[in-house]
Protein backbone atom coordinates (compact mmCIF):
# COMPACT_ATOMS: atom_id res chain seq x y z
CA UNK A 1 0.00 0.00 0.00
CA UNK A 2 1.37 3.43 -0.96
CA UNK A 3 1.70 6.34 1.44
CA UNK A 4 -1.25 8.05 -0.24
CA UNK A 5 -3.63 5.30 0.81
CA UNK A 6 -2.94 5.61 4.52
CA UNK A 7 -5.63 7.11 6.70
CA UNK A 8 -3.26 9.49 8.47
CA UNK A 9 -2.48 11.21 5.16
CA UNK A 10 -6.13 11.98 4.58
CA UNK A 11 -6.65 13.96 7.78
CA UNK A 12 -6.96 17.76 8.07
CA UNK A 13 -4.58 19.80 10.18
CA UNK A 14 -5.39 19.97 13.90
CA UNK A 15 -7.63 22.61 15.45
CA UNK A 16 -11.05 24.14 14.91
CA UNK A 17 -12.08 24.71 11.29
CA UNK A 18 -14.76 26.74 9.55
CA UNK A 19 -15.80 25.08 6.32
CA UNK A 20 -16.52 21.62 5.03
CA UNK A 21 -13.37 19.83 6.15
CA UNK A 22 -13.89 19.42 9.89
CA UNK A 23 -11.50 17.47 12.10
CA UNK A 24 -12.92 14.68 14.28
CA UNK A 25 -12.26 16.80 17.37
CA UNK A 26 -14.31 19.64 15.89
CA UNK A 27 -17.16 17.30 14.96
CA UNK A 28 -17.25 15.85 18.49
CA UNK A 29 -17.38 19.33 20.00
CA UNK A 30 -20.20 20.37 17.66
CA UNK A 31 -22.17 17.21 18.44
CA UNK A 32 -21.84 17.73 22.20
CA UNK A 33 -22.89 21.38 21.87
CA UNK A 34 -25.92 20.55 19.69
CA UNK A 35 -27.13 17.91 22.16
CA UNK A 36 -26.62 20.26 25.11
CA UNK A 37 -28.47 23.24 23.64
CA UNK A 38 -31.24 21.11 22.12
CA UNK A 39 -31.81 19.57 25.54
CA UNK A 40 -31.77 22.93 27.33
CA UNK A 41 -34.05 24.67 24.82
CA UNK A 42 -36.53 21.97 23.80
CA UNK A 43 -36.41 18.96 26.12
CA UNK A 44 -35.98 20.56 29.57
CA UNK A 45 -33.32 18.08 30.63
CA UNK A 46 -35.16 14.96 29.51
CA UNK A 47 -32.75 14.26 26.66
CA UNK A 48 -29.81 14.37 29.05
CA UNK A 49 -31.61 11.96 31.37
CA UNK A 50 -32.32 9.56 28.51
CA UNK A 51 -28.67 9.53 27.39
CA UNK A 52 -27.15 9.29 30.89
CA UNK A 53 -25.68 6.07 32.29
CA UNK A 54 -27.89 4.80 35.10
CA UNK A 55 -26.77 2.68 38.01
CA UNK A 56 -29.48 0.10 37.30
CA UNK A 57 -27.98 -0.87 33.94
CA UNK A 58 -27.21 -4.36 35.24
CA UNK A 59 -30.95 -4.86 35.77
CA UNK A 60 -31.75 -3.37 32.35
CA UNK A 61 -28.95 -4.66 30.07
CA UNK A 62 -30.95 -3.84 26.93
CA UNK A 63 -30.03 -0.20 27.61
CA UNK A 64 -26.33 -0.92 27.07
CA UNK A 65 -26.20 1.99 24.62
CA UNK A 66 -26.06 4.23 27.70
CA UNK A 67 -22.41 3.20 28.08
CA UNK A 68 -21.68 5.36 25.04
CA UNK A 69 -24.38 8.03 25.00
CA UNK A 70 -23.64 9.25 28.54
CA UNK A 71 -20.40 10.68 27.15
CA UNK A 72 -22.40 13.12 25.01
CA UNK A 73 -24.78 14.29 27.75
CA UNK A 74 -23.99 17.22 30.05
CA UNK A 75 -25.83 18.83 32.93
CA UNK A 76 -28.29 21.25 31.24
CA UNK A 77 -28.26 23.49 34.32
CA UNK A 78 -24.47 23.86 34.35
CA UNK A 79 -22.91 25.03 31.08
CA UNK A 80 -19.45 25.03 32.72
CA UNK A 81 -19.66 21.22 32.67
CA UNK A 82 -19.89 21.31 28.88
CA UNK A 83 -17.41 24.15 28.33
CA UNK A 84 -14.73 22.61 30.53
CA UNK A 85 -14.87 19.23 28.82
CA UNK A 86 -14.99 20.67 25.31
CA UNK A 87 -12.12 23.08 25.93
CA UNK A 88 -9.91 20.22 27.14
CA UNK A 89 -10.98 18.03 24.21
CA UNK A 90 -10.09 20.81 21.78
CA UNK A 91 -6.84 21.84 23.49
CA UNK A 92 -5.37 18.36 23.84
CA UNK A 93 -7.21 16.49 21.10
CA UNK A 94 -6.11 18.79 18.26
CA UNK A 95 -2.49 17.60 18.70
CA UNK A 96 -3.31 13.95 19.34
CA UNK A 97 -5.71 13.35 16.42
CA UNK A 98 -3.12 13.94 13.63
CA UNK A 99 -0.81 11.33 15.16
CA UNK A 100 -3.34 8.52 14.72
CA UNK A 101 -5.65 9.81 12.01
CA UNK A 102 -9.29 10.72 12.39
CA UNK A 103 -10.81 7.22 12.23
CA UNK A 104 -8.46 5.68 14.79
CA UNK A 105 -8.74 8.71 17.06
CA UNK A 106 -12.54 8.47 16.93
CA UNK A 107 -12.42 4.78 17.78
CA UNK A 108 -10.03 5.50 20.66
CA UNK A 109 -12.26 8.27 22.03
CA UNK A 110 -15.48 6.27 21.85
CA UNK A 111 -14.01 3.13 23.41
CA UNK A 112 -12.44 5.30 26.14
CA UNK A 113 -15.92 6.58 27.00
CA UNK A 114 -17.26 3.03 27.17
CA UNK A 115 -14.32 1.81 29.25
CA UNK A 116 -14.63 4.76 31.64
CA UNK A 117 -18.37 4.10 31.99
CA UNK A 118 -17.92 0.43 32.86
CA UNK A 119 -14.97 0.81 35.25
CA UNK A 120 -16.23 4.13 36.62
CA UNK A 121 -19.62 2.64 37.45
CA UNK A 122 -18.03 -0.29 39.27
CA UNK A 123 -15.62 2.05 41.04
CA UNK A 124 -18.36 4.41 42.20
CA UNK A 125 -20.30 1.47 43.62
CA UNK A 126 -17.25 0.25 45.54
CA UNK A 127 -16.14 3.66 46.82
CA UNK A 128 -19.46 5.37 47.51
CA UNK A 129 -21.73 2.39 47.91
CA UNK A 130 -24.29 3.71 45.44
CA UNK A 131 -24.73 6.27 42.65
CA UNK A 132 -27.58 7.54 40.52
CA UNK A 133 -26.51 8.56 37.03
CA UNK A 134 -23.26 9.28 35.22
CA UNK A 135 -22.97 11.80 32.41
CA UNK A 136 -20.38 13.90 30.62
CA UNK A 137 -17.40 13.48 28.31
CA UNK A 138 -14.87 13.56 31.16
CA UNK A 139 -13.86 9.90 30.89
CA UNK A 140 -13.05 10.17 27.19
CA UNK A 141 -11.40 13.56 27.66
CA UNK A 142 -9.24 12.18 30.48
CA UNK A 143 -7.99 9.50 28.09
CA UNK A 144 -7.12 12.16 25.51
CA UNK A 145 -5.29 14.27 28.11
CA UNK A 146 -3.11 11.37 29.29
CA UNK A 147 -2.41 10.30 25.70
CA UNK A 148 -1.28 13.89 25.01
CA UNK A 149 0.96 13.84 28.10
CA UNK A 150 2.52 10.55 26.97
CA UNK A 151 3.32 11.96 23.53
CA UNK A 152 4.48 15.42 24.66
CA UNK A 153 5.68 15.02 28.27
CA UNK A 154 8.13 17.93 28.18
CA UNK A 155 5.94 20.41 26.33
CA UNK A 156 5.43 23.59 28.38
CA UNK A 157 1.84 24.61 29.12
CA UNK A 158 0.29 27.40 31.15
CA UNK A 159 -1.57 26.01 34.18
CA UNK A 160 -4.73 28.09 34.70
CA UNK A 161 -3.37 30.21 31.86
CA UNK A 162 -0.68 31.70 34.13
CA UNK A 163 1.77 29.18 35.64
CA UNK A 164 4.29 27.53 33.25
CA UNK A 165 4.25 23.77 33.75
CA UNK A 166 5.48 20.72 31.87
CA UNK A 167 2.81 18.46 30.41
CA UNK A 168 3.88 15.49 32.54
CA UNK A 169 3.50 17.62 35.68
CA UNK A 170 0.01 18.63 34.58
CA UNK A 171 -0.81 14.95 34.21
CA UNK A 172 0.34 14.31 37.78
CA UNK A 173 -1.75 17.23 39.08
CA UNK A 174 -4.76 15.91 37.19
CA UNK A 175 -4.41 12.43 38.73
CA UNK A 176 -3.80 13.77 42.25
CA UNK A 177 -6.90 15.95 42.01
CA UNK A 178 -9.01 12.94 41.04
CA UNK A 179 -7.43 10.78 43.75
CA UNK A 180 -8.41 13.33 46.38
CA UNK A 181 -11.89 13.75 44.90
CA UNK A 182 -12.52 10.00 44.87
CA UNK A 183 -12.61 9.93 48.66
CA UNK A 184 -14.41 13.24 49.14
CA UNK A 185 -17.94 12.32 50.30
CA UNK A 186 -19.29 15.71 49.17
CA UNK A 187 -18.03 15.40 45.60
CA UNK A 188 -20.63 14.71 42.93
CA UNK A 189 -18.01 14.04 40.26
CA UNK A 190 -17.36 10.46 39.08
CA UNK A 191 -13.61 10.62 39.71
CA UNK A 192 -13.24 6.86 39.24
CA UNK A 193 -14.44 7.31 35.64
CA UNK A 194 -11.68 9.89 35.17
CA UNK A 195 -9.14 7.41 36.51
CA UNK A 196 -10.48 4.72 34.18
CA UNK A 197 -10.22 7.04 31.17
CA UNK A 198 -6.70 8.09 32.15
CA UNK A 199 -5.65 4.45 32.52
CA UNK A 200 -7.13 3.65 29.12
CA UNK A 201 -5.17 6.50 27.50
CA UNK A 202 -1.92 5.33 29.11
CA UNK A 203 -2.27 1.68 28.13
CA UNK A 204 -3.37 2.66 24.63
CA UNK A 205 -0.10 4.56 24.30
CA UNK A 206 2.00 1.75 25.76
CA UNK A 207 0.37 -1.23 24.05
CA UNK A 208 -1.27 0.37 20.99
CA UNK A 209 -4.60 -1.24 21.91
CA UNK A 210 -7.08 -0.78 19.10
CA UNK A 211 -10.50 -1.60 20.50
CA UNK A 212 -12.29 0.65 18.01
CA UNK A 213 -13.71 -2.39 16.19
CA UNK A 214 -15.83 -3.01 19.31
CA UNK A 215 -17.73 0.20 18.51
CA UNK A 216 -20.61 -0.50 16.08
CA UNK A 217 -19.95 1.15 12.72
CA UNK A 218 -16.32 2.10 13.45
CA UNK A 219 -14.92 -0.29 10.84
CA UNK A 220 -17.44 0.99 8.30
CA UNK A 221 -16.34 4.58 8.97
CA UNK A 222 -12.72 3.60 8.43
CA UNK A 223 -13.54 1.90 5.12
CA UNK A 224 -15.59 4.83 3.87
CA UNK A 225 -12.82 7.32 4.73
CA UNK A 226 -10.16 5.27 2.93
CA UNK A 227 -9.57 6.47 -0.65
CA UNK A 228 -9.52 4.13 -3.59
CA UNK A 229 -6.15 2.59 -4.39
CA UNK A 230 -4.58 4.08 -7.50
CA UNK A 231 -3.39 1.56 -10.06
CA UNK A 232 -0.99 3.80 -11.98
CA UNK A 233 2.31 4.27 -10.11
CA UNK A 234 4.85 6.07 -12.34
CA UNK A 235 7.69 5.75 -9.82
CA UNK A 236 6.89 2.74 -7.66
CA UNK A 237 10.44 2.16 -6.38
CA UNK A 238 10.81 5.73 -5.11
CA UNK A 239 7.35 5.69 -3.58
CA UNK A 240 7.99 2.39 -1.81
CA UNK A 241 11.22 3.76 -0.38
CA UNK A 242 9.49 6.89 0.87
CA UNK A 243 6.63 4.76 2.21
CA UNK A 244 9.01 2.76 4.41
CA UNK A 245 10.68 5.94 5.66
CA UNK A 246 7.32 7.60 6.44
CA UNK A 247 6.24 4.53 8.40
CA UNK A 248 9.41 4.69 10.46
CA UNK A 249 9.00 8.42 11.16
CA UNK A 250 5.35 8.07 12.16
CA UNK A 251 6.25 5.23 14.50
CA UNK A 252 8.90 7.48 16.04
CA UNK A 253 6.30 10.23 16.53
CA UNK A 254 4.03 7.74 18.25
CA UNK A 255 6.81 6.71 20.65
CA UNK A 256 8.63 9.95 21.43
CA UNK A 257 6.47 12.77 20.06
CA UNK A 258 6.80 15.16 17.15
CA UNK A 259 9.43 17.22 18.93
CA UNK A 260 11.95 14.37 18.61
CA UNK A 261 12.10 14.59 14.80
CA UNK A 262 15.25 15.74 13.05
CA UNK A 263 15.23 18.37 10.31
CA UNK A 264 15.77 15.63 7.71
CA UNK A 265 12.78 13.63 8.98
CA UNK A 266 10.56 16.70 8.91
CA UNK A 267 11.67 17.33 5.34
CA UNK A 268 10.69 13.77 4.36
CA UNK A 269 7.18 14.27 5.77
CA UNK A 270 6.82 17.60 3.98
CA UNK A 271 7.92 16.10 0.64
CA UNK A 272 5.53 13.18 1.08
CA UNK A 273 2.69 15.59 1.87
CA UNK A 274 3.44 17.75 -1.18
CA UNK A 275 3.55 14.68 -3.42
CA UNK A 276 0.18 13.55 -2.11
CA UNK A 277 -1.33 17.00 -2.72
CA UNK A 278 -0.02 17.13 -6.29
CA UNK A 279 -1.35 13.66 -7.03
CA UNK A 280 -4.84 14.45 -5.75
CA UNK A 281 -5.41 17.85 -7.34
- Whole-number CA gyration radius for the chain: 20
The pLDDT score that the predictor gives to residue 204 is: 94
The pLDDT score that the predictor gives to residue 179 is: 73
Which of 215, 55, 222 has the alpha carbon at shortest distance from 124? 55
The pLDDT score that the predictor gives to residue 215 is: 54
Question: 65: buried, middle or exposed (CB in 10 Å: 19+, 13-18, 0-12)?
Answer: exposed
Residue 107 φ/ψ, nearest 5 degrees: -60, -40
The pLDDT score that the predictor gives to residue 30 is: 96
The pLDDT score that the predictor gives to residue 115 is: 93
pLDDT tens for the chain, residues 1 to 281 = 443 344 443 444 444 444 446 899 999 999 999 999 999 889 888 998 889 888 877 787 888 888 999 999 998 888 998 999 999 999 999 999 999 999 999 999 999 999 998 988 787 666 666 667 888 999 999 999 999 999 999 998 887 777 888 999 988 988 887 777 666 666 667 778 888 999 999 999 988 766 655 555 555 545 554 544 443 444 566 666 777 788 888 877 777 777 777 878 878 877 777 776 666 55
Q: Which CATH class is domain 3-225?
A: mainly alpha
Strand partners for 259: none
**What does the domain layout of the chain look like in residue ranges?**
3-225, 236-279
The pLDDT score that the predictor gives to residue 12 is: 43
Report H helices in the chain.
24-38, 46-51, 66-69, 79-100, 102-128, 138-151, 167-182, 191-207, 218-225, 236-256, 263-279
Which of 147, 146, 145, 169 has the alpha carbon at shortest distance from 156? 169
Q: 160 — alpha (psi -120 to 50), left (phi > 0) or beta?
A: left
Amino acid sequence: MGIYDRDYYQEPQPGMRIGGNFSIVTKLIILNAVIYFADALFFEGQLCHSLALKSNLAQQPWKCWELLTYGFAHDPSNIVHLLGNMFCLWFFGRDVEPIYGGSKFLGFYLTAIIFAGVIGGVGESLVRGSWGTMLGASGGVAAVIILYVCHFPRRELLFWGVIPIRAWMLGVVFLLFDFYGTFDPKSKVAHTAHFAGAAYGYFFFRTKWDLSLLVPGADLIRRLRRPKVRIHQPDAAEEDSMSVEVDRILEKIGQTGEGSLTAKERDVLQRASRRYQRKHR
